Amino acid sequence: MTIPTVPDLIAQVNSNINPQMGDDNGRSLYSRERYGRILFFFGSVIAHVILWDLIGGRIPLLRNWVRSTRPTRFRRWARRFRGLAVDMGGVMIKLGQFLSSRVDVLPPEITEELQGLQDEVPAESFAHIAEVLQAELGDIDERFAYFDEKPLAAASLGQAHRARLYPNALGESEVVVVKVQRPHIEQIVQTDLSALQLVARWIMHYRPIGRRANVPALMDEFAVTLWEELDYTSEVDNAERFAKIYASTDYVYIPAVYREHCTARVIVLEDVESIKITDTVQMTAVGINPAQVADLLLDAYFEQFFRQGFFHADPHPGNLFVRPRPDVVWPSGNGSGPPSGRPFRIIFIDFGMVGHIPDLMGKNLRQLLVSVTQRDAEQLTDAYNNLGFFLPGADLERITEAQETLLDQIWGRNLLDLAQPDPKEIQELGKEFRDILFDFPFQIPQDFIYLGRALGMVSGLVAQLDPEINPWHKVEQYGRELIRTEQQAQDFTREALLNLIRPYLEVPGRVRRIIEAAEKGKLKVQSVPARETQQQLDRIDRHIGQLSWSILGAAGMISAALLYLGRKKE
């Protein structure tokens, strides 16, 4: 690891402090103080890791002590970060909420200490919130018949208040939630991101990380999405898009948005507060089975990832609720609570942070899912490689062997087993594939910052709802559906090609000569297709646009089609 000198760090800090942070001298001083606090905290953590885990862990006399004290040290640093995040708010809260949800990866010493961040965000005074409302909407008394000054919830970038609209033409007075951005949040985000960018460059000095992940680039991607989250107009658009996606489903509900009352800093939406998705006690009390919630939450995200290519990227517990379906009558029970299995809906809120999956990336994700379903390690390696998970020059054959062994060992296990693997199995894998672990030819693709974040948070939520859930059931379900879809597409293509070449099958000798010429690379296209054949060609082109049949001649088209079908039969 290349450790920067103290003068170098001071120079980096001074070069990154923007003297224009803030809109006056007071705000500028506040921003500088905030910037320094973030750098001091993460600098302390990095120094601690270097001294104890990287250096002390290699000294024989200290190695055992370093390992035995690691949980205590983790808990202490997590507690310090929690205090810092609560005090500072902003981006620090978002970072802490993400870490607290990773119960499937991070040690419990960290996640348990950070759990409270979901509910501990301090509220802004209503006097400051009223200034934002006045600037965005004018006189709120003209907009709302009632406005509760006590916040319903406080988040990292804004806070929510309950209000009531004036009666409409039908005499209905809707209860709504008004989401308002915090004052000066733009300057706060700018300061936090600037500090974290510097921390990202510090981390790049650690060669194993710097070789495998462009941390500053990941921070850039995070910054872009965070600035988009501050544009409430985009959030309204996202909410309406999700509403269309789930319009015909019974298990997901998206709150209505009152666009006429929305601005770039204020959103007014339907009040949908209900049971928090991690409150399994309350779910059970009303007859909802948490295991069914876990199953349907996976359904919702598999739909978003593999079919829509558009997903809710901030699934922390404060953004997800569970509500019994009001249209289904359910017995109240015999004094011990209603029977389990009550129908419900999962409610999503806060659509500021969303992810988009490009077509090429989505294709490789689907290939990954199909590969796992078929337990095809070679195809799985290809999918990972196409997604950019391996460093240039990685030994793909050896990686395939490792993945085949890993698939055999983890297939069919529940989330609890996957999150807490047997140390003996890890040791055996480490011995068998020591060369891969030593070389560690993996990297983090930049495009996966929000997909990986969402996957991790959903995995953590599902593990809390039902530790015994078998995720492979969903993998198989969606994988087989994708296989059936691809098979149907292949059948359609094969039938279309057969219809096209059927008139030529009456002259097998000519076809055979064409095939032989094509195989020897001596095929020459000299004729122009007849009008009837060209019409058939055009119809095929409309159905199979990617094949670009319109640029081929008749002879070339026929031979290619026959060769294709012949190889499929082999």
Model pLDDT, residue 205: 84
Q: pTM of whole model > 0.75?
A: no
Model pLDDT, residue 125: 92
Candidate ranges 158-162, 331-335, 391-395, 442-446; pick with highest mean pLDDT: 158-162
**Domain total for the chain?**
3
Residue % of the chain over a pLDDT of 70: 76
The owner of tokens 């859930």 is 469
Model pLDDT, residue 292: 94
The larger pLDDT score, comparing residue 520 to residue 438, is at 438
Tell me, yes or no, whether 504 and 456 share the same domain: no
State the helix-helix crossing angle for 25-48 and 185-203, rounded to 10 degrees: 30
Task: State the alpha helices, DSSP H only, in 89-154.
Answer: 91-100, 108-114, 126-137
Tell me, yes or no, whether 371 and 515 share the same domain: no
Model pLDDT, residue 496: 52
530 domain residue, yes or no: yes
Model pLDDT, residue 416: 61
Tell me, yes or no, whether 457 and 532 share the same domain: no
pLDDT digits (tens, 9 = 90+) for 118-132: 667 788 999 999 999
Q: Is the model's pLDDT at 443 over the cut of 90?
A: no
Q: Is the model's pLDDT at 431 over the cut of 90?
A: no
Among 79, 92, 163, 161, residue whose Cα is nearest residue 121:
92
Q: Is 427 helix (H, G, I), strand (E, B) or coil?
A: helix
Q: Is the model's pLDDT at 492 over the cut of 60?
A: no
Tell me, yes or no, whether 300 and 414 share the same domain: yes
Q: Is the model's pLDDT at 486 over the cut of 90?
A: no
Average pLDDT over residues 511-532: 48
The larger pLDDT score, comparing residue 7 to residue 108, is at 108
Q: Is the model's pLDDT at 29 over the cut of 80?
A: no
213, 443 in Cβ contact below 8 A?
A: yes
Last residue of a domain, one of 101, 120, 139: 120
Model pLDDT, residue 531: 47
Full domain range(s) for residue 85: 6-120
Tell me, yes or no, whether 416 and 565 share the same domain: no
Last residue of a domain, one of 66, 87, 120: 120
Tell me, yes or no, whether 465 and 544 share the same domain: no
Among 57, 271, 62, 296, residue whose Cα is nearest residue 163:
271
163, 174 in Cβ contact below 8 A?
A: no
Average pLDDT over residues 275-290: 94
Model pLDDT, residue 172: 83
What is the band of 419 on the pLDDT scale with cuts at 50, 70, 90? low
Q: Where are the beta strands (DSSP E) in 436-540?
A: none
320 domain residue, yes or no: yes
Model pLDDT, residue 139: 93
Task: State the alpha helices, DSSP H only, in 175-271.
Answer: 185-203, 207-210, 215-229, 232-245
Distance of CA 150 to the CA centre of its chain: 32
Model pLDDT, residue 551: 30
In the structure encoding, which two tokens stand for residue 175, read together? 């209860």
